[in-house]
A and B are shown apart, each in its own frame.
Chain A
């Protein structure tokens, strides 16, 4: 399983865009990049997944450069309820969670 590296924490304010970059230098050809969100005392929740270029859904965007060695999760106009831990994962159906990024949104 490819190892991922992402910032430990990020602070933001309501209404701002938050971008979390994850590096995964040894990503395999068949690996997808997936991001999860976790609130305290809850199970992680799938946010978005991509293989290359850009993916957008109603919650976030995922930017993946051509070499696929990194990816950036973009959360537009965050609110207080977006305060959570965000995990970047690389692999197939078997995922290995790294340390995650704690995003704190302040009023």
Chain B
């Protein structure tokens, strides 16, 4: 089945130690998104790629970066994780419309 895959599902890192989260899709969608969702809060859009064009949200900290080497893969890099970055990170894809397909998420713990 076509889907959005996130690896790992659970990630533990240390304060200040860089971490990379991975997302892949078999839907061949041209838009890929990264969201951060903290406990009991709504998902918050960090950035998205429309094809190869990177679009950063104005309030996304510089600590968060992203790479999209090809259509299928997108990575979220957190350069120096702080305790406040502990959250669920959700990857989603779309064809450029409102119907986004979400992965299961990666839960990040920062020690």
Contact = CB atoms under 8 A, between A and B. Distances in A.
B6 to A, nearest CB: 9
A43 B102 contact: yes
Contacts of B103: 43
Contact of A96 (B45, B50, B55, B104): B45
A12 to B, nearest CB: 21
A44 B98 contact: no
Could you tell me the dominant secondary structure of chain B's interface residues?
strand
Interface string A81-107: 000000101011111111110000000
Interface in B37-53: 42-45, 48, 50
Contacts of A13: none
B97 A87 contact: no
B104 A43 contact: yes
Contacts of A42: 104-105
Interface stretch (B14-22, B68-76, B78-86, B88-96): B88-96
Nearest to A45: B102
Contacts of A93: 31, 50, 94, 96-98
A45 B103 CA distance: 9
Given A32-B98, A34-B98, A93-B94, A41 B42 contact: no
A49 interface: yes
A46 B100 contact: yes
B104 A46 contact: no
B64 interface: no
Contacts of A41: 88, 105, 107
Interface of B: 4, 31, 35, 42-45, 48, 50, 55, 88, 90, 92, 94, 96-105, 107
